[in-house]
Structure 1
Amino acid sequence: MTWLSIDSSYKGKVAGANRALTSLQSIAGRQLNAVAKTGGASHMAFINGGFFNWQSTTDRRLPESSPIGAAVIDSKTVHSVAIPEVHARDYHKLLMADLSYIHSAPMLAFQGIASFTEDHLNHSRFIFSRGTNVPGNLGHADQRNTRSAISQPASGTDGRTRLVVGSSKGRGPEGTGYTMAEWADAVARIDRMNADPGRSLNLDGGASSVLGVVNKAGEVLLRFGDYSNPDRSIGNFLAFARRG
């Protein structure tokens, strides 16, 4: 497991969703800064965002970059795919400092206690099958996979936000990564690094998972993620910019 710990001097926003990006694993730092529109920030921390209409398989009428669930990016409401009805209660809004937002699922932990447990894996919507293997569905929850998450401090506190990736060699029964319940337990421990833990929310995972840091000059200072498919494109990402 790898995480970036950032303080409140880094202001977050959702970036992308106007087109499917080149993989965050290979995109040049200058291009990444341009897409994020961070306005000359000295440094930017980033992590992949929420689920999206990968290869337009969820809704062929909409662009591949369309997020699952309503979203506002750069003060504009973007085309989005409806949250699957079966997961209506599993998705949560992720609101950023610039009032941009996406929805993602599931909530992993609240106030330092895992909220997604092994009991959830007894429900069919969290069990892998052809019917649940669709972007935006959570049928991968019972499979070991690379995972991503954002861990947030309680509102109004001076805690730190942590961007988290848990890697896996392979996926499914033979994978070395995390089921969603295992991921929730692991990220709850990250949450408790804050004196006042808030919540943690799962992000898109698998080959989408990558986090890193780029500076104003476009130098990538850190990049870590799932390298099983280096050409994997993503629909959106979270960018945390520091001024000065």
Structure 2
Amino acid sequence: MSTNSGTAPPAPRLAGIRSRWLTAATAGLRDDPAVAGAALVGSLGAGRADDWSDVDLLVVVDDPLLDDYALPGRLPTGPGTMTAAFDARQNGPRGTRAFSAYQIIDGLPLCVDWHIHPSSRAGWPADSTVVLDRRGFDRLPAAFADLLAAGERETPTPKRPVDHQVARLVMIPIAGKRIARRSPGTAQLIEFLGGSPGASWRDHLAALRRLLDGFTPLDRPGDLAAGHAYLDLVEDTLD
């Protein structure tokens, strides 16, 4: 989930892309009678988002539909193209599902984390913003992060080596967002991704560009172009 450091510079183009995507996605959720409810969680749901924040959505469906709705493409994809999706059920408690989707809209990436919960254990986190509720689910006293951390975790699904490579590729914009926000730990994330961060934010961007170019053998030119466009936006914003 994304957080807002309170010092992020404006990025109206990113905020506009996110708003367009959310408008289309929430309309798609409302048009699906099998969706019992949905809420924004993370920084958007809590009202502390900035222009750089990604999207976190909690969706409630009846228990027998849980696995069906955890498949990428089953939930609304909004404008643009979903170029990657990763099963992320290990980030939630047992009996729930989650996946992370990577959208490219107008040449820029948007990360969307979907959390799918069964109606038998549904409730709206204290720090969420409800966008659809067909059943009148209760508001819970706990924040969403606390609900995710409660109880046993789901077992992660096996991933192919290429999936790990793609996951690292789509994390480049996440590192770029940290540069824009001047977030602590930016250098450590760049090192985790395999780069040498250097001292300044320009050094960090240069390291991320080198990392991006190293993913050329994956033959994902759209993702590479979107990653470079995002880093260019970070540089333009900080100049």
State TM-score, norm by structure 2: 0.29
Bigger Rg, structure 1 or 2: 2
Higher strand share: 1
Instruction: Report which of the two has the higher share of helix.
Output: 2
TM-score normalized by structure 1? 0.29
